[in-house]
């Protein structure tokens, strides 16, 4: 299994993220995490999730930053619930919300 390592240096801030490479979605998650660590984001989590859904990537797991955000944005019990995002993402990626039972 391959690993991906991303480094970012911006002014006096520097960060590095290393993850196992599970394909394109892992690379996007690593990039989002790296920018979050350094305190700057080129994409919001909502935008990153929409792009993943449009590319038909697999659902991010709840162990990842984007997976946690997906849960928070689509769970009615969450204080981060976003009805407009919830409806839209379910239309883009209905497979992400199918029961595995």
How much is the pLDDT for 89? 97
How much is the pLDDT for 88? 96
- The number of distinct structural domains making up the chain is 1
For 3-60, the pLDDT digits (tens) are 656 666 656 666 666 666 555 556 667 667 666 665 555 457 888 899 889 989 999 9
In terms of C-beta density within 10 A (0-12 exposed, 13-18 middle, 19 or more buried), how is residue 86 classed? Answer: middle
Q: Which domain holds residue 38?
A: 3-97
Strand-pairing partners, residue 16, are: 7
3-state secondary structure (DSSP) of residue 40: coil
Q: What pTM was computed for the model?
A: 0.59
């Amino acid at each position: 299994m391959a690993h991906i390592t991303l480094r970012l240096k911006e002014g006096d801030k520097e960060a590095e993220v290393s993850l196992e490479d599970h394909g394109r979605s892992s690379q996007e998650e690593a990039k989002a995490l790296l920018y979050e660590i350094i305190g700057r984001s080129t994409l919001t989590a909502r935008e990153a999730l929409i792009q993943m859904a449009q590319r038909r990537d697999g659902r991010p797991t709840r162990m990842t930053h984007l997976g946690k955000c997906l849960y928070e944005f689509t769970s009615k019990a969450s204080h981060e619930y976003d009805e407009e995002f919830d409806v839209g993402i379910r239309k883009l990626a209905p497979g992400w919300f199918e029961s595995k039972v």
